[in-house]
Structure 1
Amino acid sequence: MFGQIRKYAARLRTSTHAQPASTRAGRTHNLFEAAATYVVARAEDDQDRIEEAAAWVSPEALSFGVSELACRAVVALARERDTSPAAVARELLGLPTG
């Protein structure tokens, strides 16, 4: 996933239409809003929205936000399932749990 972030960030840096977040549509986006939008767009395979969300913040900030979202999601699922975060993470990635 982080390779995809780097790829989009590289494309945006070379794009002539990339603008700072503060000037785009008159509002700024925080890194958690960008991360949530990015992850949902990835889940829905919405390439335009992926690129839009990736442009809202720096690649480093987006990476941090996606990581934080993943951590929170794993913890929430672990609580819901009454299991360990490690077991949930391994299950989500299709890894053996033992």
Structure 2
Amino acid sequence: MFDRLRRHLRPTGQGEGAPQRHPPERQHNLFEAAAVYVAACAENDPDRSAEAARWVSPEALSFGVNELACRALVALARERGTSPQHVARSLLGLPAA
């Protein structure tokens, strides 16, 4: 929301009263949307997560979030020398299976 407002109010250097020209909206891919969405949720930033959720369809966002979760679990499991299942249960506060 603030990015749109900032772009709208940004000076264009065209003189007063001249129509403002805005750069075309950049297309975001589903992995970028998922990364921003999850990071914003982790940082408790609902405005940023809502913005990222608008970049792609809900199905695409769901796929991207799932892919991010899988990759994160694999990376953490390698770091910890344990299984992804153990890491997932640990992160969620579940007892070991």
The TM-score with structure 1 as length reference comes to 0.73
Name the amino acid aligned to 1:95: L
Rg comparison, structure with higher value: 2
Aligned to 1:61: 60
Identity %: 73
How far does the alpha carbon of each residue in 1:27-50 deviate from its partner, in whole angstroms, 9 at most, with x for none?
100000000000000001111101
Q: Cα offset for 1:25? A: 4.9
Runs of 4+ in 1 over 6 A off after TM superposition: none
Which is helix-richer, 1 or 2? 1
Distance in 2, matches of 1:76 and 1:26, equals 33
**Structure 1: 5+ residue stretches without partners:** 1-23
Aligned positions, number: 75
1:95 matches 2:94: yes
Q: Cα offset for 1:26? A: 1.9
Tell me the C-alpha RMSD between the 2 structures.
1.3
**Structure 2: 5+ residue stretches without partners:** 1-22
Q: Cα offset for 1:65? A: 0.3
Distance in 1, matches of 2:91 and 2:61, equals 21
Task: With a CA cutoff of 8 Å and minimum separation of 6, indicate the structure with the bigger relative contact order.
Answer: 1
The TM-score with structure 2 as length reference comes to 0.74
